[in-house]
Amino acid sequence: MENNNLSKYRNSSFYLNPLSSIDQPTQKHLPKRIILVRHGESQGNENEAILKYVPNYKIKLSQKGVHQARMVGSTIKDIVSQNGELMNWKAIFYVSPLSRTIETVEEIVGSTFPIDKVVGVREECRLREQHFGNFQEVEERRRIKCIKNTYGKFFYRVPDGESSADVYDRVSTFIEKLWSDMETNKLNINMSSSSDDHNELNVIVVSHGLTILLFLMKWFNWTVDQFEALTNPRNCECRVLELGLNGQYSLAIHHKLEELKEWGLSDEMIEDQKIRASKIF
């Protein structure tokens, strides 16, 4: 339940992106899915002490993380190919510039995806992790996380680093550019009317836990209170936004309602996902 008085005035349909007024040819430009993936387990996840002497952006995947990346590659391939039944699919990757995210994409693509299915891999600095400062002492990092949870995850600014609000701002500019590219077909989806020639495109974003939550917050116009209740994605967990019948993207098409509840979505947020998944015009 939101703790402000504005919640009673919220109307889910008001927050939908204005795609219901877009003509059908324009809707054909849109990718079938936007799949958000957190990187595999890193050496920093395995042992935080490494952050004392290795720059955060250079932290690599652990052996477990490499295995996770290969496994999630198979999972994503099954999703986009509908378990091998669909042949005409393509994927374009956007990846944070940190070593662990780049390695995750390398494992996904190298172990799973035929090269002719990958439209491209674009390194995107706006998808990087929240900045916690430079070399980090473990105890200080843990202390900061405790204070952050008490103060509020969205507004707390890490000393010499970023707040979640800062990350939200840069993720927002990425989404605006992505949305523009999608609408104007700069992602180069094959527009042939023949189903034999049409390629179903999937956008795959490989990033970090908090960055993914803020991507979802911006995309679905969630409030700060709603963001605060969300749970962080696990390593190599996918959150799939799939295009619904009305040209809106929804988490409720691919994911079960139980999953959405586990992620911290309220009943109101889940109802909004259902609306986005259905034909409303």
Annotated binding site for substrate: 38-45, 100
Residue 63 burial by Cβ neighbours in a 10 Å radius (0-12, 13-18, 19+): exposed
Which residues participate in the annotated binding site? 38-45, 100
Q: Give residue for tokens 């707040």.
A: 163
Active site residue 183: no
- Do 40 and 100 contact (CB within 8 A), yes or no? yes
Beta bridge partner(s), residue 33? 202, 242
Angle CA 36–264–72, to nearest 5: 30
Q: Which of 129, 162, 200, 242 is catalytic?
A: 129
Roughly what angle, to the nearest 10 degrees, separates helices 63-80 and 99-112?
50
The answer to whether the beta carbons of residues 280 and 20 sit under 8 Å apart is: yes
Is the CA virtual torsion 149, 152, 154, 155 positive or negative?
negative
Instruction: State the catalytic residue, choosing from 39, 107, 208, 255.
Output: 39
Tokens of 93: 């990757």
Which two tokens mark 235? Answer: 């390593």
Is-contact 222 214, C-beta < 8 A? no
DSSP at 40:
P
Is 39 a catalytic site residue?
Answer: yes
By CB neighbour count within 10 A (0-12 exposed, 13-18 middle, 19+ buried), where does 45 fall?
middle
Q: Which residues are catalytic?
A: 39, 129
